[in-house]
Amino acid sequence: MFFGDAGSSWCKTFRQGDDAVRIVPTRTMSTRDLHFAYGTGHTARRRSARFENDLISLSKGALTLIDAADFTVLDLGSRDTKVVAFRDRAPTKLDWSVGCAAATGATIEMLGKFYDIDFATVAIDDRWTPVTCGTYAVERIMDAVSAGEDIPRAIGRFIHGLARNCFDFSGRPDALYLSGGFCDNAPFISALSRYTQVTPLGRTVPLCGLWAFAAEEGHDIGALPDALRHSRCTSED
């Protein structure tokens, strides 16, 4: 059985029996002729025999991975931010931001490529750039760099501002589970950890939700594979 989480920029796929999740550019889905038994994400609807809404698959995956009764999960993508919160394992919040300030994953990726930055060199301090508009924030970074500011420091301020926005959007919880590609972004986790306790879950939470739905709907697929539970991923061009 083939599962897919196809976002705006990246498509995460998992085939039953594989030892890792494959991550490919979404723009290559047509040339790869990808079609899923179970799918989620912006670009998966027409390629899925069984399609599930992003927030629902994220919620189901979170419930599959997290044992706590009360918790909040933030999923930060290329062009949107999702938050799901639970009390006594019942949903209390399912929210989705797709405004200008939500186009942050793509913005960070663009800045990294433009300045050829290794994010391991980006340090977080007490300063931040307000991220009310992605375009305006990028302009401020470029202005600061043109004025002589160190590039990693300027990008660090942007990431810190993004983390503050995410903390507010999540409802300012004492603890926060993080889903998505930003689990691999150490400066973002460092910035967010200034405000709340952060537990990264990796990039496979929605796929875990799809697996759980398939199991509940009568497919004999067994327990959740380690590759999904531990977000074991490989990237392909």
Q: What is the pLDDT of residue 4?
A: 99
Burial environment of residue 23 by CB neighbours within 10 A (0 to 12, 13 to 18, 19 or more): middle
Give the domain ranges of the chain: 2-52+204-235, 67-202
**Complete DSSP assignment for 161-172:** HHHHHHHHHTT-
Q: What is the pLDDT of residues 190-210, one digit of tens each?
A: 999 999 999 999 999 999 999
Fold agreement (2-52+204-235, 67-202): yes
Task: State pLDDT tens for residues 130-151.
Answer: 877 767 778 888 898 999 989 9
Exposed/middle/buried for residue 85 (C-beta within 10 Å: 0-12, 13-18, 19+): buried
- In DSSP terms, 175 is beta-bridged to 197
Reduced to 3 states (helix: H, G, I; strand: E, B; else coil), residue 123 is coil
Pick 67-202's CATH classification: 1.10.1060.10, 3.30.420.40, 1.10.10.10, 3.60.21.10: 3.30.420.40
**Is pTM beyond 0.75 here?**
yes
**Check whether domain 2-52+204-235 has CATH 3.30.420, yes or no:** yes
> How many angstroms from the chain centroid is the CA of residue 197?
17
Residue 172 · residue 197 · CB < 8 Å:
no
pLDDT digits (tens, 9 = 90+) for 20-51: 999 999 999 999 999 999 999 989 999 999 99
**Contact 57/20 with Cβ under 8 angstroms?**
no
What letter does residue 77 receive in the DSSP assignment?
A: -
Residue 160 has pLDDT above 90, yes or no: yes
Q: What angle do CA 9, 190, 144 make, to 5 degrees?
A: 75
The per-residue pLDDT for range 165-181, each reduced to its tens digit, is: 999 999 999 999 999 99
101 pLDDT band, cuts 50/70/90, is: low
> What is the DSSP-derived secondary structure letter of residue 101?
G
Over residues 55-97, the pLDDT tens digits come to 999 999 999 999 999 999 999 988 889 999 999 999 999 999 8
**Predicted local confidence at residue 102, as pLDDT:** 52
